[in-house]
Structure 1
Amino acid sequence: MRIYKLMIIPFLLFSSNVLAVSDILKCLAKEELIIHKKKSTGPLYRLNQTLINGVSSLGSMPLKKDFYQRICGENITNSPSLNFLQIGLIYGKRMYPTLSEEASSQERFQYSEMQRVMDGLTKTFFNYVSQVQALSPSAKCLKEEIPELDELYLRFRYLSSEISPDWAYKERKSLTRIFNSLNNLENIFKSCKERDNKKNKK
């Protein structure tokens, strides 16, 4: 299955409109190739795979231009997968055009799929956090380096069925700080190791 996917992705990247592949899927596929070259199978790889699987079900359904630019624009240096997760959490279906009354049955199906993907991002977010925590140099690493994440995790991790659909929009300032840190995990882990080494020397 993995070999098949790697054969398909280059085809996706340079496909014509006949295949009806969305720009956001092409962007995530490009990131997958980069991750594959690094031979990484960690949290970012799994997040990327989850999002590719979700977005591929939407066919050619496009993101609104301004949201696409914030996720995959030319000047973006952060991970597109993390950008999509952050912005998708905060804005949800507002990232996509509104369904018109004249929409075809195919368009209505894609819109329903899009809502399903957006609704699943909260679970995807907490799964990603759990995977990052498992790789942390110490149990308290993320708690000490990203206090907003620890607070959010404690409040929502075991209350998924009770979380309001717009919880992330209300927490958007906190989420922005959290994702800024998640996009900089190498330095976060380095800081944790240095702090732990100092404690061990005492």
Structure 2
Amino acid sequence: MSKNKNYNKNYMAALYALLFLCLPLTLRAEKQYQSILQCLGMEEMILHRKKLRGPIYDLNQKLISEVSSGNLMKVKDEIIKEICLGKDFSPSVNFLRNLLIKGKSIYEFDRENEKVFRLQKAATETLQQKVPNLFFTYLISLQSLTNKADCLYKAIPEFNYFIQRFRYLQEEIHPQKLLSEKDKIAAIFERLKKIEKVIGKCNS
């Protein structure tokens, strides 16, 4: 039973690594995207077509839900291009990265229409408040692809740093402030560029 469980984990990890590498290439072959929702929707379609589930799929579904509920939310065109046509990550992971590192600067607001502006601000605030949970959930789901409980924490020490702070300080400090150290977040995503090697090493 244990062997089958490990085999399934290894199989899912291999599929995930393949997806992590190939999905950006697939999306780059598509047309230019007019909105972040269109881009995430294309990613969702590709995931369905390949019948793949896992960390990216779960993140994709959560982001689509959040962006759809804040339908007046507008991400800047240059950021959409960076997110959807980037070579290192899938759009969902790239979107999460931008939400964490660049924050509210990725959005465009209609300042000439006060009502629309207020709705856009509210939608972006709601999403930004959920970013810490999206981030930790995604990283923990990556850990679930490994056979060793603490392997990802050791491979990505910055992840362990934030997890410890989140566990012990979340009642004292707002989650967004817990993630204020952008250099450490950037370091996590740098390490995630080689996630297939990390997962492979964890499962060897």
TM-score, normalised by the number of residues in structure 1: 0.74
**How many angstroms apart in 2 are the aligned matches of 1:166 and 1:149?**
15
Residue aligned with 2:149, SS: coil
Match of 2:10 in 1: none
| Counterpart residue number, 2:70 | 58
For 1:2-151, what aligned pairs fall within 5 Å after superposition?
Answer: 23-73=35-85, 75-98=86-109, 100=111, 102-151=112-161
Specify the alignment match of 2:185 in structure 1: 175
Describe the superposition over 1:121-165 as per-residue Cα deviations: whole angstroms up to 9, x where unpaired: 011111112222222221121022111111121112443341364
- 1:180 Cα deviation from its structure 2 partner: 2.9
Q: Secondary structure at the match of 1:41?
A: coil
The answer to whether the 8 A contact 1:79-1:183 is kept is: no
| Highest RCO, 1 vs 2 (Cα 8 Å, sep ≥ 6) | 2
CA distance in 1, matches of 2:105, 2:87: 21
Cα contact 1:99–1:111 (8 A) shared by 2: no
Structure having the higher Rg: 1
Provide TM-score, normalisation by structure 2.
0.73
CA spacing shift, 1:67–1:157, aligned 2, 3 Å = farther
- Contact between 2:166 and 2:178, CA under 8 Å: does it hold in 1? no
CA displacement 1:59-90 (0-9 Å, x = unmatched): 253212332232123x5341111111111012
* 1:99 to partner: Cα distance: 5.2
Q: For 2:84, give the aligned amino acid.
A: C
SS at match of 1:76: coil
Q: 1:193/1:32 Cα in 2 relative to 1: closer, same or farther (>3 Å)?
A: same
Check 1:136–1:66 CA distance in 2 against 1; reply closer, same or farther (3 A cut). Answer: same
Aligned-pair RMSD on alpha carbons? 2.5
- Identical aligned residues as a percent: 35
In 2, Cα distance between equivalents of 1:47 and 1:111: 23
Cα deviation for residue 166 of structure 1 reads 4.9
Note if contact 1:137-1:192 (Cα within 8 Å) is conserved in structure 2: yes
